[in-house]
């Protein structure tokens, strides 16, 4: 009888170990997470997001991980190039064997890998890409997004320019890819809604080192306000060039340019820029965010140069970690999906108000506006909410 019981126990343990072993990226000791980021190239300042993710994982691991498993974050550099992002994701899935992709910067990059990730049923939490790219997309079982829509954000910016800044005309300086084009689309839609005119659409290529001619085109438009959808490098270049030629419109930018690094890159020309944010900013009275930033910069002091981008890395990881907690020790993709779908109006330390469900994959749908001045950002508005699209 004892022999029979012993055999049953061994078989039971073997089966349970087999289940874990079959789940890609999950072992008894760790969960493997992958991401692709611009650690080099024209958008390298956004690479702090990946370093923030790594620091947050170290913080959790120092406390014992999640259900006894450590988080291993594997970051690959794509230099902000879609072909490299696609190669990185393939490597992360097929060679590294990640359980999930968290983040992945760039709308064009996300679009380049979307079909591959869906086809291979990879969990993907918060691609850092325009959320509207998922409107009408069917295969979202393993997708969970806590990132704003550039289209909706641009509408909010144009509305503020019209109502609060008195702008009658706007121009858009935008990156000539899906990121910038989505911002331009939102600006056009917002202009109709706010009864202002878009008088100039000025694109640039991400490989450009000089934007002086673009600054002249913007000045010639005589727009009252200019919206910026650019990398930190190009955003800083254009505002400096406009200041140099004496063109001083009201400036508004995407939250992607909302890090204090912009003051170092653009100097005084960045003063007065209105931008958005999708989580409470440090130094504005939110102790939980301040403490999170203190943790990140203690673990990686270099993140002090890019504090908001570092916190974005924490914010992108938080819902994923909450899903791991709710899924329990017996972690599978199906249990993880069910756990994520149970999240309702959930607040992390950085990201706030996250809701998912069986028919909802857009976890947040709101931003607020800030003003840049003297190296700091001041909150201007309460949350501005827009419709859930998916």
Same fold, 2-148+284-358 and 150-277+370-385: yes
The per-residue pLDDT for range 190-209, each reduced to its tens digit, is 999 999 999 999 999 999 99
Q: Report the alpha-carbon distance of residue 28 to residue 9 in Å, rounded.
A: 18
pLDDT in tens, 360-369: 999 999 999 9
What's the mean pLDDT in 177-181? 97
pTM: predicted TM-score of the whole model, two decimal places: 0.92
Q: Domain 150-277+370-385 carries which CATH code?
A: 3.40.50.2300
Instruction: Domain ranges for the chain, please list them.
Output: 2-148+284-358, 150-277+370-385
Rounded Cα distance, 320 and 361, in Å: 13
Alpha helices in 123-177 (DSSP H): 150-163
**Per-residue pLDDT tens over the stretch 217-254:** 999 999 999 999 999 999 999 999 999 999 999 999 99
Q: What percent of the chain has pLDDT over 70?
A: 95
Note the pLDDT of residue 22. 73
Average pLDDT over residues 327-350: 98
Q: Which of 172, 188, 261 is nearest to 224 (CA)?
A: 172
Give the CA-trace dihedral at 28, 29, 32, 33, to 10 degrees: 110
pLDDT at residue 16 above 70?
A: no
Distance CA 244, CA 255 (A): 24
| Fold of the 2-148+284-358 domain | Rossmann fold (3.40.50)
């Amino acid at each position: 009888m004892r022999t029979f019981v012993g055999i049953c126990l061994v078989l039971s343990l073997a089966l349970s170990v087999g289940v874990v072993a079959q789940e890609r990226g999950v072992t008894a000791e760790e969960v493997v997470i992958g991401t692709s980021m611009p650690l080099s190239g024209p958008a390298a300042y956004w690479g702090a997001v990946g370093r923030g993710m790594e620091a947050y994982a170290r913080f959790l691991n120092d406390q014992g991980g999640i259900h006894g498993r450590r988080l291993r974050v594997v970051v690959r550099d794509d230099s902000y190039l879609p072909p490299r992002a696609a190669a990185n994701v393939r490597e992360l899935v097929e060679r590294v064997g990640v359980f999930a992709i968290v983040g992945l910067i760039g709308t064009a990059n996300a679009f380049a890998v979307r079909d591959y990730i869906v086809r291979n049923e990879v969990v993907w939490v918060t691609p850092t890409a325009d959320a509207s790219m998922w409107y009408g997309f069917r295969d979202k079982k393993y997708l969970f997004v806590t990132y704003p829509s550039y289209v909706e954000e641009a509408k909010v910016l144009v509305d503020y320019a019209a109502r609060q800044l008195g702008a009658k005309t706007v121009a858009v300086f935008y990156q000539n890819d899906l990121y910038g084009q989505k911002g331009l689309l939102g600006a056009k839609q917002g202009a109709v809604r706010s009864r202002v005119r878009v008088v100039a659409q000025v694109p640039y290529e991400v490989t450009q080192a000089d934007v002086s001619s673009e600054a002249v085109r913007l000045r010639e438009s005589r727009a009252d306000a200019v919206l910026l959808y650019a990398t930190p490098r190009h955003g800083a270049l254009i505002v400096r060039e406009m200041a140099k030629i004496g063109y001083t419109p009201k400036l508004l930018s995407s939250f992607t340019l909302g890090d204090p690094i912009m003051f170092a890159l653009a100097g005084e020309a960045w003063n007065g820029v209105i931008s958005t944010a999708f989580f409470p900013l440090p130094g504005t009275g939110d102790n939980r965010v301040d403490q999170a930033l203190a943790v990140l910069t203690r673990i990686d002091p270099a993140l002090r140069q890019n504090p908001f981008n570092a916190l974005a890395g924490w914010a992108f990881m938080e819902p994923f970690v909450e899903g791991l907690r709710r899924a329990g020790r017996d972690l599978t993709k199906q249990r993880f999906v069910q756990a994520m779908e149970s999240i309702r109006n959930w607040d992390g330390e950085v990201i706030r108000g996250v809701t998912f469900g069986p028919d909802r994959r857009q976890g947040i749908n709101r931003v607020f506006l800030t003003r840049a001045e003297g190296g700091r950002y001041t909150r201007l508005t309460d949350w501005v909410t827009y419709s859930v699209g998916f």
